[in-house]
Structure 1
Amino acid sequence: MEDDKVEIYQQTVASELDCLQLDKLETEWIKEVIDNDFLQCQDIPLLYDEILEECHITSRLIHLQKAFLLWLESNKGSSEDSEVSTATRQSLGSSLMPENTSAAVNINLTNNGFRFWSFLFQEKKVNIQSLLVLIGFFIDRGSTLSSTHEERQRCFEAAKMYLLMVCIPGSMAFRVFHQMLYMKALQLVQLYVQTRKYQQKSAPQTQQAKKGHKQTQPVAEFEEEEGEAPIGPEEIAAVEKAMSRFLDALFLVAQHLSFKRYPNILKETVECILPIINLDRGAVSLKAL
């Protein structure tokens, strides 16, 4: 019965990814983003931008999150921390999966995680580079205070989806885990910190406004220091809610990805979260702790 569920979730992921029409992304654009280690993402090609609008991309990302999460719940014993899967991942880490295979690899593909990725990349021919670049683009466009509501929503949904993808065993062997993209996702913490700092700076200003005082100077100071445009109360609340869910996904990464095998990733993750913990004792800071 569990195997049937797993297969259903795999098919759901494949179906949702098929809606993205990743094969329509220009090869040169993909190569440019990867060559820049996701640090800079040029505007997405206009033709593909139209495809994103037609496929309701935000809904697709949310549906994919649910499918990945359900897969993880159905495979609670299949974590990267198990000695067998960890040894397998180490043996495959330097290979070019799925092109390079060996007898040892074929044996270990019986692991549900490896079967999952093999199904997507070998049978369904999903282009992982196109998918990673698309995720990186969404994060890049929505991770600033000046981003639009739609850009920020796509950003958080794409980042959460990527964290859930990373949780599935075999994500490193199949090159789904990309350290620079992972770090780019973690940079959403900085967006949250900037949002809270702006909120704290604008609070005295709001109180002064109620008393009839001028309120232009604090905003100007923030724009000069942060280099970002301020956002409204509704957007601040949306960022806080999104960050709480982002941390839920990051917690799952800590449960499924073998940080003890990759201490540098653990170090970067902890250092990235510290600014949230240092902010205050609010709900999000406590969750980060």
Structure 2
Amino acid sequence: MTEPPAAPEADAVAARFAQMFAALAQNIEHVVRGKRDKIELALVCLLAEGHLLVEDVPGVGKTTLARAVAASVDARWTRVQFTPDLLPSDITGVSIFNQAGNAFEFHPGPIFANLVVADEINRGSPKTQSALLEVMEERRVTVEGTPHPVPRPFLVLATQNPVDMDGTYPLPEAQLDRFLMRISMGYPDHRAEVEVLAGRPSGALLDRLPAVATRDDVAAMIDFASRLHVAAPLYDYVVRVVAATRGHEDLRLGASPRASLALLRAGRVRAAAAGRSYLVPEDVKALAVPVIAHRLIVTPEAELRGRTGADVVADVLATVAAPQAAGV
């Protein structure tokens, strides 16, 4: 596709965006080895003001990735270990009566941070999980009728074990839909695992990992990505890709308009990370599976055939025509 006209300053800002994005990714790679693609997806979530769900078996670096992203940004971050006895107020905060002032005072919980690491989120009860619904969508927490906004940027970086493991509760569809992406870490490659065995454990390095971006840096990157040029045919392409899931024969539930918004936001960040000040169809295609697949519910018949949401998204990308160069 041809490059649309862009002001020189936009290209310069895109170049600086790409440099900072690469610096963040390289910093995280010091402790999360052999997973550059997963690191970049996590950073796309951060800069698209979305939330990330990392799902995989224990021991493959889910929490390490979450902590490394948090440590790489000079901002307030908190960690919540989800357990079956965790209460909603343990996350959102609670109002306590102050006898001296004869009034209730709100004591904010750990959700009031720029980056919140929700570790093993599906070990919390459904009631506790639901405490995140409002804040993940509206960036605020309502306690006793009073809204309390969370700071910006705000990212929930959650990890979870596969739902068939003991002591887990499946996340409801409404909460899954609030995660911009879901990714799996996978096992490390041979070289990365050898480095760990050779005496370079990520835990020791993680404690010394420096911050390479400030909160203001991240906010500026978010603002630039949100204004990135998108040609009219690409808006149409994003909607057609998402809408094609709603009538697919293998699905009981397709993707909502929230998926269209998420795919567009993520695509803009990917474009800026590549040093471009405009979106291309490849940005949409590259992010469609992690952004859309977890929002889909496959029919029981398709499940028996081994079909997954990712398979359906791949079908859609193969059948929905992307705009051509003349359309930009």
Calculate the TM-score normalised by the size of structure 1.
Answer: 0.29
Higher fraction of strand: 2
Higher fraction of helix: 1
Calculate the TM-score normalised by the size of structure 2.
Answer: 0.26
